[in-house]
Each structure stands twice: as structure tokens, then as C-alpha cells.
Amino acid sequence: MKQLYRNIGFVGVSQFLYTGLAFVLVPFVARYLHSEGYGLYNVATILGFYLGLMNDLGVSTLITREISKSKLIAARLVAEAMMLKSLLTIFASLIIYFYVRFSRMDGPATQAVFIFCIASIISSYANSMIAVFRGFQKMELEALATLIDKLTSVILGIFFLAQGYGIRTFLFSFVVSESIKTGVCYYLLRRTLRPFHFSFHVRRASIILKKSVPFGLTVFLAVCYNYLAVLLLHSLTTLEEVGFYTAGLKLLSLTAILPTVLATAFLPQLTQARAKPEALTKIFSSGLKYLLFFSIPLIPFISLYADTLIHILFGAGFEPSVPAMRILVWASFAQMANTYFVALYIAADEQKVIVKLQIVALCLSLPLNWLFIRSFGFLGASVITVITEWGILLSILIHSRRHVLTFPGFYRKLAPFMLRIFSAALIAFLIAAWLKPKDAVHLIYPVGSVLVYLITVLLVGGNDTLLFYGKLAARLRSITAGFSR
């Protein structure tokens, strides 16, 4: 368990740096580039994201899982995977090229997209090396590489924006930062794997690709709904509407930190327990309560303070984003749970089930998005995102209860805890809504509401909550102590 807490600590730092520092750029981009430029920035990053998914196809996740099973195969597996990734990069780049070629983008917008895609290609190699560090449970190396990457991109990005260089020069800061990150990861990889050399065999590469594709599809389908909605918005509406939709979406992306930390840190432990259903369920459920403790209050509190948060972070020009954010927070809750469940299904070798569910959801969401966007614009896209994410979550819960989680009374034991959290969140929301001024524009009100929630949970739960807080504090101490080991 000490190793698990250490993993959580360093993965938490890594995810906080990745999401938190990247989010530092958001107010600067929104204010310097305005809603249309912010929309183009998000289109470019999403196309780069898709390129990164297509040239990986789950190879990085496979690396982590297989090295967790046997570290002896690490050097040979990584060497083959890197060469396979190079071939996939050619395929992925052609798809992005033809999409941009036949879209409505003008010359500067096309150049902006291609610049970020270059950064995404470079980053994908670093991510595969980080997958090795995860397999060896050396999460501190991931945190180090992420810190260097994000500090570089934030400092350069803010400098370029403040100097008025425009979006293309701003996006070039990501090329610089990802190049530095990849160089650092390669140096650390050579120190971790000795001896190490690149090699390529068609038969081995085909086996790796066959095993990795379900992982890649799982990741792709888990997050593609929001991003596909952005591309449909770009095709059917304007970059300004894209900016309004992605403002709320970007703010809610902070909620992905916790489930990503839990999923990444627990994956090696879940993989090792895959042959023992009771142990698998116990490890998985130990993180589920913490996820629910933080995720359940999101819906009422973000709905209440959406206008305050949008005004502070994006400015008055993004006021149309407020209703979209209040809708999308419902999708955010379901997406947090889905992200955490993906780790369980990967460890249990049930990822194909997730893929099937997500393919069905994707086939339904595409025509619905097209219809709702044409009728209601970015608000229609927000509604369909909620429907899609909750449909996936309900399907996962039903399948998990029947085939994956075998611990007797798992849901029955979870119900009292959820009831206490729901009750506390409702009471805290009513108090916060009563005290909130009509024109609240300071973070003191959202922060105060969080404190009210924590106190309310204690009052509602009594001794059980004291015990929960004690366990949470003990785990935080264990995580903190792990940094010194």
C-alpha cells in the first residue's frame, strides 16, 4: 500500500501540473485572442489531440500494463512500440491533413492547426516513454517531465501573447516545450532501461498493434463526444460559438484530475489483482468513495457559481458560456466516473466491453449532435454531451454489477455513504444559495461554499464521517511521505 500511496502522490502532482498549469494559460488566451481566437485555439488543440490518439492507438497503455506484469520485457517492448508509433504517425498525419484541407479554415488558421499538430506528434513519443515509468511505478519521473513541459509552455505562451505575436507564434511555444519534455524523457528512459536500442519486426509490431487497439479505442471513445461536438460546431456554426462552448468545457476539465489520478495510480495494482475478484473489487472500491466525496457536490455548486467562475476566468465577453457550463457539469460528473471505471476494465481485460458501449453511444450521439447543433447551437451540443455520458455510465454500472465486481453487497454498502454525501451537498447548496449575492464576482463565495460542505458532511455523517476524514488524512500523510522515499 505504501507504493500505491506513493503512486497516487506523484501521479496527482503530475496531473495537477498538466491540467493546472495548462489552465493558467486560459484567461490569457481568452482575453488576448477573444472568443473567436479562443475557438480557433481549441479547434487546433483538439485536432492535435486526435492526432496523438491515432498515432498511439493504445500502445502507451499496453506498455504500462505489460511492464507491470513483467519488467523483463520492457526494453524490447518499448523498442518495437516506438517504431510502430512512427508508422502510425504517418497514417494519422494524413487524416488530419485531409480534414484541414477540406474544411473551411483560412490560411492562418490552417497554419495554426499544423503547428500544434507538430507539437502533438512530439508529445506522443514522450507519453510512450512516460508509460514505461508508470509500468516501473516511477511516477516521480512523470511528474518531473510534466513540470518541465508545462512551465516552459506557460512562460513562453504568456510572453508571446503579451507581446502581441498572435495565435501561430503562441502555439509554437508548445512545440518548444514538448521537444524539451521528449528530450528529458529519452534521457530518463536510457537510464531506466539498460541496454536499450530501437528495433522493428513486422510480426512483433502486428501483435502489439492488435493488443493495443482496444485500449486506444477505449480512450478515444471515452473523450471523443465533447471533442467531436467542437468539430461539428466548427463545421456548422462559427469559431465564436466554439469559443463559448469550450469555455465551459475547459473549466470543467479541471474535474478530470481526480479520476485520472485514481485510474493511473491504481492501474498497476488492479492489474496485479486481476485474477482475484475479491481483491480487485476491494482495491477498486477503496478509491470510489473518494471520487464520490469530491464529485457529487460538483453539480449544485458549479451550477450556482457558473456565472462567477466564467466572469473571473474568461471575462464579461464570455457570458453566453454560463448556461452551457450549467448543462455540461452534469456530463462532467458522469465522465469522472467513466474515467475511473476504465482502469478497472483495462485491468480485468474487459476493455472490449467499454469499446462496444462507446461505439453504440457514438453512433447515436453524432446524428443527435448534428440535429441539436443546427437547432440550438452550442447549447444543443451541451445537452447531447450530458445524454451520451450518462448513457455510458449507466451501461457500465449494469455490466460491472453482473460481470466484474463480485464483492457481496458492494452497492448496498456504498448506498449509506452516498446518501450522506447527497444530503450534505443539498444542505450546503441551499445555505450557499441563500448567502450568495446577486452579483458575486469573487472566489471567496465558492471557496466558502466548499467549507460549508465539508462541515455539513461532518454534521450529517457523525462518527462515520470522522472515521472517513481520518482515513483521508492518513492517506494524504502516506502520499506526502512517499515523496521522500
Overall pTM surpassing 0.75 (yes/no): no
The answer to the question of residue 379 being in a domain is no
Exposure of 434 in the CB half-sphere (CA atoms within 13 A):
7
CB atoms under 10 Å from CB of 276, counted, come to: 12
- Spell out the residues 6+ positions from residue 261 whose beta carbon is closer than 8 angstroms to its own: 8, 11, 12, 15
Which H helix or E strand runs over 335?
A: helix 321-347
Q: How far is CA 326 from CA 65, 224, 254, 255, 320, in A?
A: 37, 20, 15, 14, 11
8 Å CB contact between 225 and 377: no
User: How many structural domains comprise the chain?
Assistant: 1
Q: Measured between alpha carbons, how far is 87 from 83 in angstroms, rounded to an integer?
A: 7
Taking every pair of C-alpha atoms in the chain, what is the biggest distance, in angstroms?
66
180 belongs to a structural domain: yes
Quote the CA–CA distance of 340 and 281 in Å, as a whole number: 13
CA distance 91 to 210: 16
Domain presence at residue 52: yes
Report yes or no: 295 and 58 within 8 Å, Cβ to Cβ.
no
Place of cell 486481476: 274
The answer as to whether 184 is a domain residue is yes
Q: Show pLDDT as tens, one digit a residue, over the chain (485 residues).
A: 555 555 555 666 666 667 777 778 888 888 888 888 888 888 898 898 889 888 888 888 888 877 877 777 777 777 778 888 888 888 889 988 888 888 777 788 899 999 999 999 999 888 888 888 877 877 778 878 888 888 899 999 999 999 988 889 999 999 999 999 999 988 888 777 665 566 666 777 777 777 787 777 767 776 666 678 888 888 888 888 888 888 888 777 777 777 877 777 677 777 777 667 677 777 777 778 778 888 888 888 888 888 888 888 888 788 888 999 999 889 888 888 888 888 888 777 777 787 788 788 888 888 998 999 998 988 998 899 899 889 888 888 888 777 767 656 566 667 777 788 888 888 888 887 887 776 656 667 677 777 778 777 777 665 565 566 566 566 555 544 554 45
How far is Cα 469 from Cα 461, in angstroms, rounded to an integer? 11
Residue 100 amino acid letter: V
Does residue 101 sit within a domain? yes
- Domain-embedded: residue 11: yes
Q: Cβ(250)–Cβ(23) under 8 Å?
A: yes
Helix (H, G, I), strand (E, B) or coil at 15: helix
> DSSP code of 71?
G
Residue 165's domain comprises: 1-200
Core vs surface per residue 315-328: b (16+ CB within 10 A) or e:
eebbebbbbbbbbb
Report if residue 215 sits inside a domain.
Answer: no
Would 108 be classed as within a structural domain? yes
Tell whether the torsion through CA atoms of 134, 139, 144 and 147 is positive or negative.
Answer: positive
In angstroms, rounded to a whole number, what is the distance separating the alpha carbons of residues 284 and 385?
Answer: 26
Length of the chain: 485
The number of C-alpha atoms within 13 Å of 363 and in the hemisphere containing its C-beta is 6
